[in-house]
């Protein structure tokens, strides 16, 4: 039974029993304490905590999940994975154990021909919490499970809570006996490898007031309404129903693994090291594709770093499999989209965007690998020079943390060089980093309290009506006031606060559009509003400061936005839509929006692209957009179903998730997008759009910045004045300026090169004189010289090598040259082969000089360079070198 069919049967079974099917939430968690969704119940957490009203009392879903704490173990075992899917049915104050337990048993044991999973009853075992007699009785007396296959377990195994105060309760798990070939008899308490958990029923019936750890918590009492949260791992179910040993051999994973093996000319199951790499590639490619599809882009922080790490581990392991510089991620991404697309059709519609992001990250990382390898080679050379047969933990950690090298790659490369790695030191540094991350995460667990305050406001006000599409002022009631994170009945002059109204004309920041600003007035107060946010769906929170008087909950208020600011932002937002369409027309549909910011008079637009956009394309897009403005196309907004909007060709933003009803914004027949922002009435109101330029902001993502309306006119006016001034100074017509400026720059560069040659010749002219004036120190010719100020480091090096080369090969010689190229001193030492034979080393001598200069340096034995911060100490540095040479030879 394929994975997609398992999911369909699960959803259909519970839908037939009154459950509302809820689509998978995005992997990007709404919970402020989480980066990504790590469990199937996370999107339902606000319902269990009473922070939001659920859409129905019975829900069922297939939820995408990502877990990365054990990412370094992925591939080494067949149990660990980063991406997985959880099938879950949920009851929110409706049914409890009496229905949840029979539902689970019925679906698992019903024959496949009747829509079930066909598990033999005699191979199923169950566990219950040690004190949960009610669940045990239902299993035995209602379902009919023999007592010998019902096992009781303690808090560590059969009790669930969220790790923070809130709902919790006992759980009951169902296990499948895979047979004696997988382990010993005795049920789950004896062997959880043989007896595999397939279903977990969580019975939320208690309110926990204090949670210290998994098994240490305080129970405040029973919940007013009891809830059911069940979970069944789709991948684990697929392994059982498809008759394979582990999750890497199921349909949606093995096809990726098999394609990776085919591309790298390897075979799964023949070599344990290759098998690890193939499993990493299969799991991480799948996880990476799903993250990109949900709008996550590679970066060096947050969830973007999680994605980058996952993709780079895939690329590194392809390299270990023999891929070298070949790029295989495009092929593997295509395979992933194909195998996962049946459950998630958006993967196929967003395929071009997903490919663009992952291909760019692969190209970028292959370059990083080359750089990291060079750093590794330098570390190896340093270790060998010191005679140390081991790479330090610091070096291994730097390679891992800065250049993305996993420890196994460092170990392998070190082994090839005959070196070991201080793994203990590396693990210690990794643990310190994890501990810091855990401390940061723990510090964020106050997020639930804040959400609870907002949730209380939402319950009281209901969904706040947004009137801003049609009104710029509105009468409203003050539903709530929040000061320092807590609800208050009133706030006086000078207080910074948050205000919740039952209706508002203020636009809350979202979809790239900055929030409105303005004023809220009551009979006794005036509040300046500087920011508006929507912390939870349906709630609008106005942030500002009380200018005068006192505002109180329950009062009537007049809300008024800054109209000019709104108009300027609306012009920018409409311009963003037009530029988006323009780039798609120029570059193809893969040029998908990856972010934006619509500010008064200007905007930035991020989009996916494989490389830099040619200036000619920027000009063409700008011309096309301004032609739309001249035609003054009508801007129309309306609501429709998501399916109808897509059928009409409306663009949905890459990575954004939408409800069943969506708002479509059209600019004539030119642009059609799903959008909740504010816009102008016609394109002519934009006046002018001026694209300033584009640049990379990450692998596969480009950013365009542009001006709109008066800001664009003012920019062009300033440009015109500047061009007029240049035309006057250069005595050239405007159209001749580029050629004239290019000629001046060319002549200037030529002159600079000639000057550089003259300076070098002047510096090197003294080489013969310096060699002739060498001082004999115990049979070694020693030259120390201070070069004229402004001599470049490159010329200092050339001079030292030139002077050294003037001595006969059988004559030991040392040359040390110092100078001040700008404001910092530089010293170069050169020792010939005969001098090195006398035990003199350039790196050591530079170290002595650099120390006197207040800095450091080093290099090879024949030539080395260093520097410092004290130019006045050059004389002392050269004397220190002379003394070191004399004492060394003595």
Nearest to 289 by CA among 250, 336, 251, 243: 336
Q: How large is the angle between the packed helices 351-385 and 407-416, nearest 10 degrees?
A: 40
Q: Which residues contact 767 (CB under 8 A, 6 or more apart)?
A: 799, 802, 803, 806
Structure tokens at 437: 């991350």
Give yes or no for a contact between 56 and 20, defined as CB atoms under 8 angstroms apart.
Answer: yes
CA-to-CA distance for 710 and 568, rounded, in angstroms? 9
Beta pairing class for 150-153 and 124-129: parallel
CA-to-CA distance for 621 and 615, rounded, in angstroms? 10
Give yes or no for a contact between 37 and 65, defined as CB atoms under 8 angstroms apart.
Answer: yes
As a whole number of angstroms, the longest Cα–Cα distance in the chain is: 107
According to the annotation, is 679 in a ligand binding site? yes
Q: How large is the angle between the packed helices 302-320 and 351-385, nearest 10 degrees?
A: 70
CA-to-CA distance for 320 and 327, rounded, in angstroms? 13
Give yes or no for a contact between 228 and 204, defined as CB atoms under 8 angstroms apart.
Answer: yes
Nearest to 675 by CA among 877, 834, 510, 436: 510
CA-to-CA distance for 37 and 29, rounded, in angstroms? 5
The dihedral of CA 377, 378, 383, 384: what is its sign? positive
DSSP code for 686 = G
Give yes or no for a contact between 513 and 678, defined as CB atoms under 8 angstroms apart.
Answer: yes
Distance of CA 730 to the CA centre of its chain: 50
Distances (CA, A) of 263 to 24, 281, 330: 32, 12, 11
Nearest to 598 by CA among 626, 573, 561: 573
Q: Is 822 exposed, middle or buried (0-12, 13-18, 19+ CB in 10 A)?
A: exposed
Beta pairing class for 150-153 and 159-161: unpaired
Give yes or no for a contact between 504 and 540, defined as CB atoms under 8 angstroms apart.
Answer: yes
CA-to-CA distance for 798 and 779, rounded, in angstroms? 25
**Which residues are 606's β-sheet partners?**
595, 703
CA-to-CA distance for 28 and 887, rounded, in angstroms? 66
CA-to-CA distance for 221 and 75, rounded, in angstroms? 43
Structure tokens at 869: 């911060």
Q: Which residues contact 474 (CB under 8 A, 6 or more apart)?
A: 467, 503, 504, 505, 558, 559
Give yes or no for a contact between 276 and 314, defined as CB atoms under 8 angstroms apart.
Answer: no
Measured from the Cβ of residue 122, the count of other Cβ atoms closer than 10 Å reads: 9
Nearest to 822 by CA among 855, 867, 854, 860: 867
According to the annotation, is 577 in a ligand binding site? yes
Listed in order, strand segments (DSSP E) in 382-472 are 390-391, 420-421, 465-466
Give yes or no for a contact between 411 and 421, defined as CB atoms under 8 angstroms apart.
Answer: yes
Nearest to 653 by CA among 605, 700, 714, 690: 605
Give yes or no for a contact between 180 and 174, defined as CB atoms under 8 angstroms apart.
Answer: no
Q: Which residues contact 381 (CB under 8 A, 6 or more apart)?
A: none
CA-to-CA distance for 806 and 829, rounded, in angstroms? 15
Distance of CA 756 to the CA centre of its chain: 46
According to the annotation, is 675 in a ligand binding site? yes
Beta pairing class for 195-213 and 216-233: antiparallel
According to the annotation, is 542 in a ligand binding site? no
- Binding-site residues: 573, 577, 675, 679
Q: Which residues are annotated as a binding site for Zn(2+)?
A: 573, 577, 675, 679
């Amino acid at each position: 039974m394929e994975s997609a069919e398992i999911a369909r049967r699960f959803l259909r079974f519970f839908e037939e029993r009154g459950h509302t099917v809820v689509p998978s939430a995005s992997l990007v968690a709404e919970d402020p304490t989480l980066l990504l969704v790590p469990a199937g119940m996370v999107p339902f957490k606000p319902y269990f905590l009473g922070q939001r009203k659920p859409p129905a009392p019975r829900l069922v879903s297939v939820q995408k999940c990502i877990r990365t704490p054990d990412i370094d173990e992925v591939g080494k075992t067949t149990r660990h994975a980063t991406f997985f899917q959880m099938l879950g049915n949920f009851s929110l104050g409706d049914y409890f154990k009496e229905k949840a337990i029979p539902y689970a048993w019925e679906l698992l044991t019903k024959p496949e021909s009747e829509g079930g999973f066909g598990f033999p009853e005699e191979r199923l075992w169950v566990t219950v919490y040690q004190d949960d007699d009610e669940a045990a009785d239902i299993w035995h007396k209602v379902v009919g499970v023999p007592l010998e296959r019902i096992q009781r377990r303690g808090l560590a195994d059969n009790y669930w809570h969220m790790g923070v105060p809130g709902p919790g309760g006992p759980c009951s798990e169902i296990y499948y006996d895979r047979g004696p070939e997988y382990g010993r008899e005795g049920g789950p308490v004896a062997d959880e490898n043989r007896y595999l958990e397939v279903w977990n029923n969580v019975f939320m019936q208690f309110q926990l007031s204090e949670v210290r750890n998994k098994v240490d918590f305080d129970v405040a009492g029973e919940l007013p309404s009891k809830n059911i949260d069940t979970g069944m791992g789709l991948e684990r179910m697929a392994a059982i129903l498809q008759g394979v040993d582990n999750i890497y051999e199921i349909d949606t994973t093995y096809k990726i693994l098999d394609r990776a093996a085919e591309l790298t000319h390897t075979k799964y199951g023949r070599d344990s090291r290759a098998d690890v790499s193939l499993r990493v590639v299969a799991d991480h490619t799948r996880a990476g594709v799903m993250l990109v599809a949900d709008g996550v882009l590679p970066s060096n922080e947050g969830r973007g770093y999680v994605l980058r790490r996952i993709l780079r581990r895939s690329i590194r392991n392809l390299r270990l499999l023999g891929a070298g510089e070949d790029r295989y991620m495009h092929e593997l991404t295509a395979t992933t989209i194909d195998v996962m697309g049946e459950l998630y059709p958006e993967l196929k519609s967003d395929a071009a965007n997903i490919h663009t992001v992952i291909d760019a990250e692969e190209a970028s990382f292959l370059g990083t690998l080359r750089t990291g390898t060079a750093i590794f080679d330098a570390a190896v050379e340093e270790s060998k020079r010191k005679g140390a047969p081991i790479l330090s933990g610091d070096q291994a950690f730097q390679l891992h943390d800065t250049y993305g090298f996993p420890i196994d790659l460092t170990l392998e490369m070190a082994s090839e060089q005959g070196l070991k790695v201080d793994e203990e030191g590396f693990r210690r540094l990794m643990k310190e980093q994890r501990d810091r991350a855990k401390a940061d995460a723990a510090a964020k667990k106050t997020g639930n309290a804040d959400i609870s305050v907002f949730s209380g406001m939402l319950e009281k006000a209901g969904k706040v009506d947004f009137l801003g599409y049609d009104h710029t002022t509105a009468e409203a009631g003050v539903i709530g006031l929040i000061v320092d994170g807590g609800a208050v009945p009133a706030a006086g002059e000078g207080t910074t606060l948050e205000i919740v109204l039952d209706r508002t004309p203020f636009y809350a920041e979202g979809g790239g559009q900055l929030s409105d600003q303005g004023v809220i007035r009551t009979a006794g107060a005036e509040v300046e509003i500087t920011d508006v946010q929507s912390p939870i769906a349906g709630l609008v929170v106005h942030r500002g400061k009380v200018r005068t008087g006192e505002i109180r909950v329950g009062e009537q208020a007049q809300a008024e936005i800054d109209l000019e600011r709104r108009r300027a932002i609306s012009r920018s937002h409409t311009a963003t839509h037009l530029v988006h369409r323009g780039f798609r027309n120029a570059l193809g549909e893969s040029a998908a929006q990856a972010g934006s910011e619509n500010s008064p008079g200007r905007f930035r637009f991020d989009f996916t692209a494989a490389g830099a956009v040619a200036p000619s394309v920027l000009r063409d897009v700008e011309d096309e957009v301004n032609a739309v403005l001249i035609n003054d196309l009508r801007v129309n907004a309306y609501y429709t179903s998501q399916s109808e909007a897509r059928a009409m060709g409306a663009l949905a933003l890459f990575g954004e998730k939408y409800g069943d009803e969506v708002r479509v914004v059209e600019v004539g027949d030119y642009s059609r997008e799903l959008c909740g922002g504010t816009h102008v009435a016609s394109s002519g109101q934009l006046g002018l759009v001026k694209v300033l330029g584009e640049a990379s902001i990450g692998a596969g993502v480009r950013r365009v910045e542009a001006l709109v309306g008066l800001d664009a006119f003012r920019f062009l006016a300033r440009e015109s004045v500047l061009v007029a001034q240049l035309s006057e100074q250069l005595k050239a017509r405007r159209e001749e300026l580029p050629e004239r400026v290019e000629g001046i720059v060319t002549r200037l560069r030529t002159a600079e090169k000639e000057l550089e040659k003259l300076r070098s010749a002047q510096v090197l002219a003294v080489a013969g004189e310096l060699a002739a004036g060498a001082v004999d120190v115990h049979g070694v010719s020693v030259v120390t010289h201070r070069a004229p100020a402004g001599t470049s480091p490159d010329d200092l090096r050339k001079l030292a090598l030139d002077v050294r080369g003037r001595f006969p090969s059988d004559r030991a010689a040392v040359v040390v040259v110092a100078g001040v190229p700008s404001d910092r001193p530089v010293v170069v030492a050169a020792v010939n082969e005969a001098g090195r034979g006398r035990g003199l080393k350039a790196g050591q001598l530079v170290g002595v000089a650099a120390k006197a200069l207040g800095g450091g340096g080093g290099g090879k034995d024949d030539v080395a360079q260093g520097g410092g911060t004290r130019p006045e100490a050059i004389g002392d540095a050269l004397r220190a070198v002379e003394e070191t040479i004399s004492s060394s030879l003595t």
